[in-house]
Structure 1
Amino acid sequence: MAVTRERFEMLVKDLVSRFSQSDERKIRDALAAFLKVTEIPVSYLNPASRYHPVVVFKKRFGGIEKSVMVSLLEFRILNRYNMPGWRREVEFRLDRDVVLRERVGNVEAVLIGDPSRLVRLRDVVVRVLQQMNARPTNFVMFYDHVYMDFGNNRFIHLEIRGSDIVVRLVNLNFTEASRLLGKAIPYLDSVFGNKNIDFYKLLFVYSSETAGTFDWFFHRYIMPRLNPEQREFLNDMQDYRNFIRLLYSYVSRLNKDRLGDEIGIQVRRRANPNRPLEIGIAFTNRGIDVRRYPSTITISFMV
């Protein structure tokens, strides 16, 4: 978002007059950082969402809390007369929050938010970066959000709240994201309890890259959720691991970038083709469900 130096300096001066001279450096850093966040396509403050991005600067003076709202689109202080109706607000406390520019895991980063929460988030990101096959050119850590920039307007967005994580991809398909993140995907799977549907699809794509990772995925997510009839079908085989390897050979051929919310598997026995095994692998925001009857058949073969 283009902002002239004159407008920037004018806004800084107005804000300093409402707070204190000692806040000038932090106000400058915060405004520059928030502008960077508005330029990220998937960010909460990106104006393409049709919401007006607003930052609310706050500071407590004794028993009084002062609050000033600033438009990041028009770069001016807001009042009841020029307040946009559809807006998204984020609070920045001058007496608590920080803006840091540093290298994290040898990657240029901007960190914005409550220092105590940033410490935990930073630790998670460092471990993620260590597991990745390719690191981002830079990233922004914005309160509970991490925006990893891979160039050419490609981003991986992680939203982390407690034990929950939401993964969003911008201009990246699942195969590309899986190759970038690498072993960071099973790491995130082990660290966070609740994940979103795109994470589970990404996990499936990662697991389908090798026979070994698919075997891990099958035993972690599929085998424990099979119903007695499905489990009996596998147990009747002389070596069900051969079945997993055969299933992997079909899974590896799927177009993983066009995954639906369910993968339907049908397996027929030559000895009794009229009683096939059916497994539905469904990706949900609650996890991976294994269903007795898939809605559509994606993979079908005979053993």
Structure 2
Amino acid sequence: MNSRRFQVLIEDLAYRFSRDDIPKIKSALEALKKASEIPISILNPSSGYHPVVIFKKRFGRYEKEAAVSLMDFKILTKYNTPAWKRAVTFHLDDDIIEHSKIGGIETVLIGNPRRLQRLRGILTRIIEQVNQKPKRLVLLYDDIYMDFGNNRYVHIRIRGGDIRVETNMKLNTASKILGKAIVHIDSAFGNKNREFYKLLFAYSLGTRGSFETFFMKYLFPKFNPEQREFLEEMYDYRNFITLLYRELSRISVDRIGDEVGIRINRRANPKRPLEIGILFTDHGIEVRRYINTVTVSLLV
């Protein structure tokens, strides 16, 4: 941050705004640059987008702005702006950069104070439930980045009652690290993304009780008449859930795609196997009548 290019940029921004804004601008550039270095950050260049911050400040009835490249540390104009960019807007009048601690964890907060306060409360409750505490936290407007060390990250985006969860870890590893926080997120938010539902499925395979909860909440209510009749006609449906749990717990959840296919071969009707397809989507978990690929096969 002490390079000649960075110093020239600071001088240019002091001319466009004011010298009083320079400390906040410097702090914002340093914090956003570090945020862009997180592998799964929305600002990381590996996403295919050029990271940009747009500084804005009101001067009476007018508002000035300046777009800055976080890669090249130069002011962008309509002539040199990259075609593919991802920008965050930093309002010099209202937004903050704060270095703090949440649950004893070093945290950088970037953005609007009110929105950050809400995120802080949500994150505090999530951290209370995880099996392993993150080493570092970054709160960037609506995004939370949890750094668990050894290049292991979880990205959470919260907008209203919706939440998106992404990670660069394997599903099995992430589900063990997040633990009961996955169940908390499931109950606290309405709309979730497919990556989250995969994590929820992986977590449910941790114990037979967790899987039955998952089965009765997400699968059984969506069974078609034939699937529902099969389960209801069993002497004890819990025996079937136990059998299914044992088979699924043996699979490598890290290799599952967007579908888990279950084929049930029935002794009473061997020519007509029953299929149950579990599909993970950005709108929830769907249950299909037919499957594309067999993940597990049962004989009952």
Using the size of structure 1 for normalisation, the TM-score is 0.94
Q: Residue type of the partner of 2:262?
A: I
Deviation at 1:278?
1.7
Aligned 1:270-289 pairs, distance under 5 A: 270-289=267-286
Q: How does 1:58-77 map to 2 (within 5 A)?
A: 58-77=56-75
CA distance in structure 2 between the partners assigned to 1:201 and 1:243 by the alignment? 22
Instruction: Give the AA of the match of 1:293.
Output: Y
Residue identity opposite 2:201 in structure 1: F
Q: Distance in 1 between matches of 2:246 and 2:204?
A: 12
Counterpart of 2:91 (choices 90, 93, 100) is: 93
Following superposition, the deviation at residue 274 of structure 1 comes to 2.6
Among 161, 164, 167, the residue aligned to 1:166: 164
CA distance in 1, matches of 2:140, 2:45: 16
What is the 5 A alignment of 1:227-246?
A: 227-246=224-243
Aligned residues: 300
Q: Specify the alignment match of 2:257 in structure 1.
A: 260
> Which of these residues, 127, 134, 137, is aligned with residue 136 of structure 1?
134
Output the CA distance in 2 between the equivalents of 1:34 and 1:196: 26
Matches within 5 A, 1:1-303: 3-170=1-168, 172-303=169-300
* Structure 1 vs Structure 2 CA RMSD: 1.5
Q: Secondary structure at the match of 1:234?
A: helix
Deviates more, 1:84-93 or 1:133-142: 84-93
SS at the partner of 2:106? Answer: strand
The Cα shift of 1:276 comes to: 2.8
Give the letter for the 1:263 counterpart.
V
d(CA) in 1 for partners of 2:248, 2:83: 49
Q: Which deviations, in whole Å up to 9, do the C-alpha atoms of 1:76-118 show, x marking residues without a partner?
A: 2223443333322211000011111100121111111111111
Give, in whole Å, the separation in 1 of the partners of 2:62 and 2:147: 40
Between the aligned partners of 2:85 and 2:295, the Cα distance in structure 1 is: 43
Alpha carbons of structure 1 residues 50 and 300: separation in structure 2 relative to 1, 3 Å = closer
Instruction: Answer with 280-289 or 145-154: which moved more.
Output: 145-154
User: Hey, which bits of structure 1, 4+ residues long, moved more than 4 A?
Assistant: none
Unaligned runs of 5+ in 1: none
**Partners in 2 of 1:199 and 1:182 — Cα distance?**
13
Residue 14 of structure 1 deviates from its aligned partner by: 2.8
Matched residue type, 1:32: E
The one-letter code of the counterpart of 2:243 is L
What is the identity, as a one-letter code, of the residue corresponding to 1:302? L
* Alpha-carbon distance, 1:153 to partner: 1.8
Name the TM-score, length of structure 2 as normaliser.
0.95
Quote the offset at 1:6 in angstroms: 4.1
- Amino acid corresponding to residue 150 of structure 2 in structure 1: N
Deviation at 1:270, TM superposition (A): 2.3
